[in-house]
Every structure is written in C-alpha cells, then in structure tokens.
Structure 1
Amino acid sequence: MKKSILTLASAVLVAFSANAQKVEFEEYNLDNGMHVILHKDTSAPVVVTSVMYHVGAKDEQPDRTGMAHFFEHLLFEGTKNIKKGEWFKLVSSNGGRNNANTTDDRTYYYEIFPSNKLELGLWMESERLLHPIIGQEGVDTQNEVVKEEKRLRVDNQPYSRFLEYVKQNIFKKHPYKGTTIGKMEHLDAATLEEFLAFNKKFYVPNNATLVVAGDIDVPTAKKMIQDYFGHIPRGEEITKNFPKEDPITETITAKGYDPNIQIPAVMAAYRTPSMKTRDSRVLDMISSYLSTGKSSVLYKKLVDEKKMALQAGAINASQEDYGTYILFGLPQGDTKLMDIVNEIDEEIAKIQTELISEKAYQKLQNQFENNYVNSNSSVEGIANSLARYNVLYGDTNLINTEIEIYRSITREEIKEVAKKYLNPNQRLILEYLPEKK
C-alpha cells in the first residue's frame, strides 16, 4: 500500500509539472544594445521591473576587489532626479519594494510595484543607468555600509569563510579565487576616478538585460521602454578573456581558520565545469542524491546511523565559467575529520561503480520537477529566471526547457559523471578549524 501511495504521488507530481504553464515571453534588442524581455501575467495586479548587468566580482581588477558588490550599494545613493536618500522612500510610498544582489558573474536590481506604477519602475531604472550620482560623499557613505555588511555576514558569522578558503585554493588563475564582497583595503584605496571608470565600462545598455514581467499591456510597455531607455548611448564593447585553470591532478591540502567556531569542519572540494554544461546539471542531481533532506545518503549515514557528524552534505556551487563541488561534514564527539572524508568517499565510490536505485532516481526526478514548478510560481521568480538565463546562459527559453535536460539525465550518466569529476586526485581537502585567540 505504501509503495502504491508513493507511486501515485510521483505520478501526480509529474503530471502536474508536465502540464505546468509554459512561460510565454517576448524578447528583442534596442538600438543601443539593451536586451529586453517582456512577460505578461495578469493573475495579479503587480509588475516587476528589473535589470541584470553582466558584471560581477570576476570582472574586477585584482587589486580592486569588491568593486562590483560596492556598486550594488552605490547605485542606490541617488541620481540627477532622485535625491540622496530618496530612492527607497520613493519605492515604498508607491506601494512597492525593491532590492539588489551581486555574484561573481552578474549584478541584479529589481522593483516590484502595483501594475499601475510600471512607468515609475522603468523611469527609476533608466535613472540608475543614465544619471547616477557617483561622488566622494556617496562613496564614503557606502564604504561604511559595506564594511558593516562584511562584519555582520563574514567576520562575525560562524562558518562564513569556508567558501572563501575553498575558492582561494581551488582556483589559481581565474578570478573566482576571490570573494564577492572583496577586500576592504582595496575599496579604501580606490579613487573616485576608478569608480567612475567602472561605471562607464560596465553600466551601459549593451551590457544589460531589462525584464518587465507581470500585469502589463505589451504595446504600452514597449513604448515606455523606448522612451526611457532607447536614447541612452551605447557603451564600448566589453571583452572578457579570463585565464583558464590547469587541471587538478593531485590532492591539495589546506587549512582555514575561523574565530567564530568551536567545532571544526572538513571540506572535499572539486573544480567542475560551467553551469551551462550538461555535466554540471548531472552534478546537481548527485548533490541532491547525497544531501537533500534528512533521508539523503550522507545525512542518514553520518548523522542518523553512525552518529559521526552533526551535519554532512554536498553543494554544487555552479557558476558561469567553472563550478565548485563541495562535500562537507562537521564531526560529532571525537570523530576525526579524515574519518568523515573516508565515509563520504565510500558513498562516492558507490555512485561511481553502481547505478543508484530506481527508487532514488525517481525521488530525484520528483525533486527537480518540484523545483521547476516552484521557481516559476511567482512573477518575481520568473523575472529573475528570464534575466539569468539570458545573461549567463545565452538562452532565455531555458526557463521552459531546462527541466527537460534534467528529465533526460540517466542513472548511467550519474555514474559516469561521478567517475569523471569526483576523484581523490582532483580535489582539495580543507580542514576548517577554530582560530585560537
């Protein structure tokens, strides 16, 4: 009976997601190179205006790290027509909310307004692009804001630096070896001229994707977009030529220290291919198999059954140029860090030599179907996905077709990809230890 219920639940989920509404959109380019994506959804009287710029931490100079994230803050300072301190007031007083975020690969700004405020959202984003006020006062103000953010999220947050240590040991040439928030001494040393130059180079229409999603009249939206963005001058073409990494051929060992922890951790990290590849998506599935939920392989073995770890899991941190696949564990009691690694290696070896069970495979498919449905369940999520697939993958329609890639991944592929990337001679072993004061 239990098996029948599980089978029925799986069938219902697959049927639901197979019939999930396709995300309809229209995309085109303005004469100045700005890419525009429109998605009409009249289910609620809201509209999202968002712009994703193809600039992130990897685009910074080695001695000026943190610049991309800094701009995420700086471009809320004000514009020619929006006074300092008025941006957030303008949004909230018109029933909206807004935010921004930065990664190594891109920077994303968005507003969510009642649908009758579409023009306001477009005007504000055009102001950010065309008329930002970048002055020493704003730079000094945001410098303190970023420092406080670093103190809260990094310096005083337990286990917050493990990815920093992993990346600086996994990457030797590519700028992924740095952190998105950067080094404060680099921002302190940056001149106003350098901030202006960064803005001039990267904050241009031909490096931007504008998404308007929600309860819109498409012809009206197109006219507004042309009126507010069409006249903004095209910038210089941006060439990206990042250094390629040499393969890892023998185990790297390193240690990282954190003054905010008492319990150590261990990470086994592997450099993997771009998130645009099929192999990266297979690694997504392996990660879910190993560590999604308390019934997952690593949690069940190390935490529940053997009581060796307080926590264990896998993360596929996939990015535009490379990925970083991380297996980790926090020991319980007197368990040694390498004992956790050895137990994890046993499970990796099983994936490399045996096909995962049909039941586990179906569970994975259900998880990814559910993720697909959830990611497209709100206009805010759809706007983000449309921008991301265009900017980072070069294929906006992946919002509809990427799930088909996951559906087509076989148990045999899971085995082969694990054999290809998750080997001891291809990894970093990082001991993440309490720092003695």
Structure 2
Amino acid sequence: MFITMILNHLSPKNFNRSKELYQIKFFEEKLSNGLHVILHQDKTTPLVSISVLYHVGSKNETPGKSGFAHFFEHLMFEGSKNIKKGEYFKYIAYNGGKNNAYTNHDETCYYEILPSDRLPLALWLESERMLHAKVDEESINIQREVVKEEKKMRVENQPYVKAISEIIPSLLFKKHPYKYPIIGLYQDLDTATEADYKEFYKTYYVPNNAVLVVSGDFDMNEARMLIKKYFSSIPKGTRNFKMNKIEEEPMKKEIFFTYVDKNTKVPGVFLSYRVPKLTDEDSYVLKIIDHVLSSGESSRIMKNIVNTKQVASYAGSSLDTMEDYGIFMIYGLINPGITIDQLTKIIDEEIDLLKEKGITEYELEKQKNCFEKKFISDNYSMSGITASLSHYYLYYHNADLINTDIEKYRKITTGDIKQVANKYLNKNNRVRLYNVPDNENTDK
C-alpha cells in the first residue's frame, strides 16, 4: 500500500503538479522614464529583497578609462545629496538588514535585504543613489585609494590572479572591451578626472538603463505607489544604450604565453577557450561540460588527473559566461617531479577523450539532476529570486525564464555534448598560458 502511494505520487500527472509548486509569479511594469520594475510577492517570511541592476560594466568603458564601472560600485556608497558620507551601510545595519554590490563585465548591481516594513527605506536609498550620488573630488579621491588597495590586495599580491584576470583576456580579445580587467588599470585610475566620472554617471546610472526588482512580503499596491513616489521623477537618460556589436576575428592558431608570477612557487597551465555568449544555446551545453570535467571528486579532471595519475596538485575548469562572449578555462598546477608540458599533455588527452567519446548517459543525467537542484534552490530564497528575475530580464528580455529555463538543460543530449566540445575545445581556439615562478626554467 505504501509503495503504491509513492508510485502514484511520482506519476507524470503528480510530477507536473509538483513542478507547478515552484512557479514564480511576478508583476512587471515600466515607468514613463524607462525604469523596468518587477515585483514578486511572497508573504512566507517578513523580509523584502531589493535590487537595482544597471546595464553597465567594464565593457562600456573606453580605452584609457578602464575600471569606471567597478569604481562606481564603490563611489555610489559614498553618499548623496540627502545622505551623509558613509551612511548607506549605517541605514541598513540600524534597520536590521544587509546590503552590498557587485560589478562584472556587463552589469553593476546594488542590493538590500531588510525587514518588510523597511521597504520604503530601501527604495529611498536606491533612488538617492540613482539621482543624487556624490560624484565630487573628495569622494573620488577616497575611493581611488580604496580601489588601488583592493587591486594590490586581490590582484597584484595573489598567485595566478593577474594571469587569469588581465593577461588571458588581453590575449583572447583583440578588439572587444572584455580584454580589459574589471578592476581597471592603475594608470587609468590615476588620470581619470571628476568630469570623466560625472559623465559616466550621467550616462549609465539612469532609470532607462536599470531594472528594479522587489521580492518578498509587501503589499502590491503600496509597493507600486512607493516606487513611483521615489523613482518616477528621475529624468530619463538621453543615450541610446544599444552598443555597436564588436566582433572578434576567429582565432586561427593557439596563442602561447609565459607569465612570470612573483607570487607563486608552483607552475600552472591555463588553457582558455573563446566561447559564445551566455544566451547562446551552446552555453548551456558548455555548462554541462564544465561540471562533467571538474564538479566534485567524481568529475573527470579530479578523478583522472589529480587522483589517479597524480600529475596535478590542483586542477579544474571554469566557464565565465558574458553578454557577448564567454571564456572556458581548464587549468592545473603541477605536482613535484612533473613538468608543466607533461601536465598540459595529459590535460589535452582528457579533452581529446571528451571530444572523441563524449560522455555517458549516466554522466549527463547526473548533471541534469544537479542543474535542476540548483534551479529549484535559486528559486527558494527571496534574494535568489530577485537575482534571477533581474538576470533573465536583462539578458533574455524574458523574466519568465525563471520558471522555464531548466527545460533547456533537460533537452541536452550526449550528441550535443560531443558536438559542442568539438566545436570550441580546440587548440586553434585557445590561449595556452604558463604561469611560472621567478627564475623558473620550463620546457617550451
């Protein structure tokens, strides 16, 4: 009897019903100034998650003015016309919340989580940031030193980071701004003027270049009224935000580079492939390949290269998906007694095996289950829902993908894996970088 009940619950009819439990309902509208608003109501817990996502990242910067988007991630916490210097974090902390921001190549996001009755506070703070941020000489000089110190700590004094964040992108991309580091270059930080920053702020941090998402416990009519109160009077930006498409010439041969890294004692190889943009169907397949290669102890790289052959002390892969292109990286750090060329050869053998034999149905099903679990998990928390709604609207112009995007993974076949691996994971489509210590002699 018990087994029959379980089987009935797992029938296709009930499975479809269980999937409906995870449907995220939301309301969308666009204000007259172009601000796109998405509201998801969930009264389960007395919290609200708020984010303002600006469609500006390092790719929107011009040569000689790198690091501006990341600089504004810091600068826009400095204060505003009606908020004293340093008080953004105090407002949030004193009201029992938390907040932060991030920048990447394509976007800058500011977000808060607060008790639900503090929604008006969060909306006021974000409207102040959008309309009245302090972009003055004093604030700029403070943050200039903060960013320099961050760059020194996180890039200049860390092993392998400069190779990954600066050298490899500059070799993979000849034309596209993805070749510049998100954090910027020292010389650009030193020469940027107050007028430069004011122009950047005036251009990109405007309502028609932003998505505002609120998720959680709130009254729908009240939230819409508050959003209009705080944001509707902010002037629309005048710029056409559609960028001219910058296309890279196809790579015709492997680019080899040796970077001498003062911060490391262990040589490493980084094989970086140029792959398509995040909305491309092949990007979904590449995510599966990335997981097959290096997600967990049973993944191919961990099992074969690190544990069985023991030629690498650490190895793996990563996929950085961006709006215009992506970077698929496979890397390893040598074990004692192994040369960097030997490790490269063994990694290449693993890649060739993937291209020739593909993966098993078991491996594919395992990864599909993993992505389905993540998909459900992302839709479980208010902050996860807020982030997903922003992401799907910004890049796909379809926020409802928060409910349906998993179907793209379910449709992937073992044939797709093999085809995509052969299409992109080729020596003539990559940068091979050897990251070596000072005075290290490596076989070329």
Shift of 1:19: 5.5
Equivalent residue, structure 1, for 2:121? 120
Q: Determine helix, strand or coil for the equivalent of 1:49.
A: strand
Shift of 1:23: 1.3
Rounded to whole Å, the distance in 2 between the matches of 1:19 and 1:316 is 30
Rounded to whole Å, the distance in 1 between the matches of 2:439 and 2:115 is 52
Rounded to whole Å, the distance in 1 between the matches of 2:191 and 2:387 is 34
Rounded to whole Å, the distance in 1 between the matches of 2:163 and 2:372 is 30
- Cα deviation digits, residues 243-266 of structure 1 (max 9, x gap): 210001111111223211100110
Q: Tell me if the contact between 2:267 and 2:437 (Cα under 8 Å) persists in the aligned partners.
A: yes
Out of 356, 376, 379, the position equivalent to 2:382 is 379
The yes-or-no answer on 1:234 pairing with 2:221 is no
The yes-or-no answer on 1:48 pairing with 2:49 is yes
Rounded to whole Å, the distance in 1 between the matches of 2:387 and 2:403 is 14
Q: Determine helix, strand or coil for the equivalent of 2:181.
A: coil
Name the TM-score, length of structure 2 as normaliser. 0.93
- Cα deviation digits, residues 327-354 of structure 1 (max 9, x gap): 1111101212222222222222222222
Equivalent residue, structure 2, for 1:316? 319
| Pairing of 1:379-398 with structure 2 (within 5 A) | 379-398=382-401
| Pairing of 1:337-352 with structure 2 (within 5 A) | 337-352=340-355
Q: Tell me if the contact between 1:274 and 1:320 (Cα under 8 Å) persists in the aligned partners.
A: yes
In structure 1, list runs of 5 or more residues that go unmatched: 1-7
Rounded to whole Å, the distance in 1 between the matches of 2:101 and 2:245 is 25
Shift of 1:104: 0.5
Rounded to whole Å, the distance in 2 between the matches of 1:432 and 1:400 is 42
Report the AA paired with residue 216 of structure 2. G
Rounded to whole Å, the distance in 1 between the matches of 2:409 and 2:163 is 29
Q: Determine helix, strand or coil for the equivalent of 2:331.
A: strand
Rounded to whole Å, the distance in 2 between the matches of 1:317 and 1:85 is 33
Shift of 1:301: 0.6
Name the TM-score, length of structure 1 as normaliser. 0.94
Equivalent residue, structure 2, for 1:258? 261
| Pairing of 1:49-68 with structure 2 (within 5 A) | 49-68=50-69
Q: Determine helix, strand or coil for the equivalent of 1:180.
A: coil
Equivalent residue, structure 1, for 2:136? 135
Rounded to whole Å, the distance in 1 between the matches of 2:298 and 2:208 is 47
| Pairing of 1:78-117 with structure 2 (within 5 A) | 78-117=79-118
Shift of 1:114: 0.2
Equivalent residue, structure 1, for 2:4? none
Rounded to whole Å, the distance in 1 between the matches of 2:380 and 2:350 is 35
Rounded to whole Å, the distance in 2 between the matches of 1:374 and 1:434 is 41
Shift of 1:238: 2.1
Report the AA paired with residue 330 of structure 2. L
Q: Determine helix, strand or coil for the equivalent of 2:436.
A: strand
Q: Determine helix, strand or coil for the equivalent of 1:325.
A: strand
Report the AA paired with residue 426 of structure 1. N
Equivalent residue, structure 2, for 1:211? 213
Rounded to whole Å, the distance in 2 between the matches of 1:18 and 1:324 is 33
| Pairing of 1:19-34 with structure 2 (within 5 A) | 21-34=22-35
The yes-or-no answer on 1:249 pairing with 2:252 is yes
Query: Segments of 4+ in structure 1 off by > 3 A?
Result: 14-20
Equivalent residue, structure 2, for 1:220? 222
Q: Determine helix, strand or coil for the equivalent of 2:373.
A: helix
Rounded to whole Å, the distance in 2 between the matches of 1:380 and 1:98 is 11
Shift of 1:273: 0.4
Report the AA paired with residue 91 of structure 2. L
Provide the alpha-carbon RMSD of the alignment.
Answer: 1.8
Equivalent residue, structure 2, for 1:271? 274
Closer/same/farther in 2, CA of residues 340 and 213 from structure 1, 3 Å limit: same
In structure 2, list runs of 5 or more residues that go unmatched: 1-6
Out of 388, 399, 403, the position equivalent to 2:402 is 399
- Cα deviation digits, residues 158-192 of structure 1 (max 9, x gap): 22123222111111110000110001220110111
Equivalent residue, structure 2, for 1:290? 293
| Pairing of 1:175-190 with structure 2 (within 5 A) | 175-190=177-192
Rounded to whole Å, the distance in 2 between the matches of 1:409 and 1:20 is 24
- Cα deviation digits, residues 357-415 of structure 1 (max 9, x gap): 12111111111112112222210111111111111232212211111101111111001
Out of 401, 413, 431, the position equivalent to 2:416 is 413
Closer/same/farther in 2, CA of residues 410 and 18 from structure 1, 3 Å limit: farther
Rounded to whole Å, the distance in 1 between the matches of 2:202 and 2:143 is 19
Q: Tell me if the contact between 2:22 and 2:403 (Cα under 8 Å) persists in the aligned partners.
A: no
Q: Determine helix, strand or coil for the equivalent of 2:90.
A: helix
Q: Tell me if the contact between 1:50 and 1:212 (Cα under 8 Å) persists in the aligned partners.
A: yes
Equivalent residue, structure 2, for 1:303? 306
Rounded to whole Å, the distance in 2 between the matches of 1:324 and 1:336 is 25
Closer/same/farther in 2, CA of residues 19 and 336 from structure 1, 3 Å limit: farther
Q: Determine helix, strand or coil for the equivalent of 1:81.
A: coil
Shift of 1:242: 4.2
Rounded to whole Å, the distance in 2 between the matches of 1:393 and 1:341 is 37
Q: Report the identity percentage.
A: 45
Equivalent residue, structure 2, for 1:197? 199
Q: Which moved more, 1:145-154 or 1:204-213?
A: 145-154
